Structures are given as structure tokens and as C-alpha cells.
Amino acid sequence: MGWTKRELVNAAFSEIGLAEYAFDVQPEQLQDAVRRLNSMIGVWDGRGIRLGWPLPSDPSGGDLDDDSNLPSWAVEAVYLNLAVRIAPGYGKAVAMETKASAMSAFNAVLLNLRPIPQMRPDVMSIPSGAGFRERRRITLHEQPDPINTGSDGELSL
């Protein structure tokens, strides 16, 4: 089981100096933070950053103890960016280290979601056999995506 929404919200509160063990965070504040968290993840989802987060259909934000379904490499980016978003509402200034860490973790998420380009060797650069005297280097070119032409097959550029 991964992180719950409650654990992410508590980590964000802790990051801005409102840790659960020192301050009594009210249930309304937790629900508000979950709504902001759902909103943030919704914006990311709209940008193509899909992390498996269960987006609720109503603004109540869902249950705090629901599993977030986040991969482990995305957890820090979520709670740090949530901390940056909720801090002004509680009169807290976000530390520069927290902002830098949030940006760095978000960039790491983007890198993890980036597709790996498929490469193929350039056949014109491969030597033609044992009798071929001139040496050439093998170069790799990015393979373009084929265009679908329907039932007739593919059209390559």
C-alpha cells in the first residue's frame, strides 16, 4: 500500500511548520488541503502528467484515508508542491529550500514520464562487407512515428 491522501497532506503541513504532533490541524483544514491537492493533481493531469491519482467527481475531495496510487518517485513532488500551494493561506512563508526541492522533484517526475525515443541504425553508414576498405561510423537517427492511413497500412516519412 502506498501513501494515503492524509499522509501527503500531513507531510505538506509538516513542511510549512504545522506538524501534526505540535499543532492541532482541524478536519476542515485537512479537507481544504485535500481539495487543493486534487486541484493541483487535476492541473497536472490536464498537462499530461498522469500519476494514477484517483480524481474525485465532486469537490468534497474524497476520503482522506484513500490510497493515493502514486508511484514512489512522485510522492515528494506532490507533497512539496502542495506545501508551496497551501502555505500562504496559513500565513507561512515557504523556505527557499522547499521551493527548490519542490521544483527539483517536479522536474524528476517530468523526466520519469518522458518517453524514451526509439533509435535505429542508419543503414547507409554501415560498411557493406569484408571487402569494404573505407571505415564509416554508425550513426543513430531518431525513428519517426508512422502515420496511420487506415486499413491500407502505414505511411512512413
Q: Tell me: the pLDDT tens digits for 24-57?
A: 778 888 888 999 999 999 999 989 899 988 888 7
> What domains lie within the chain, and their CATH numbers?
5-113 (1.10.3230.20), 119-155 (no CATH)
Give Cα 101 to chain centroid, integer Å: 14
Residue 103 has pLDDT above 90, yes or no: yes
User: Is 91 within 8 Å of 116 (Cβ atoms)?
Assistant: no
Reported confidence tier of residue 100, pLDDT bands at 50, 70, 90: very high
Query: What pLDDT is recorded for position 12?
Result: 92
The Cα angle at residue 89 between residues 82 and 38, in degrees rounded to 5 = 35
Q: What is the pLDDT of residue 27?
A: 82
**Does residue 85 have a pLDDT over 80?**
yes
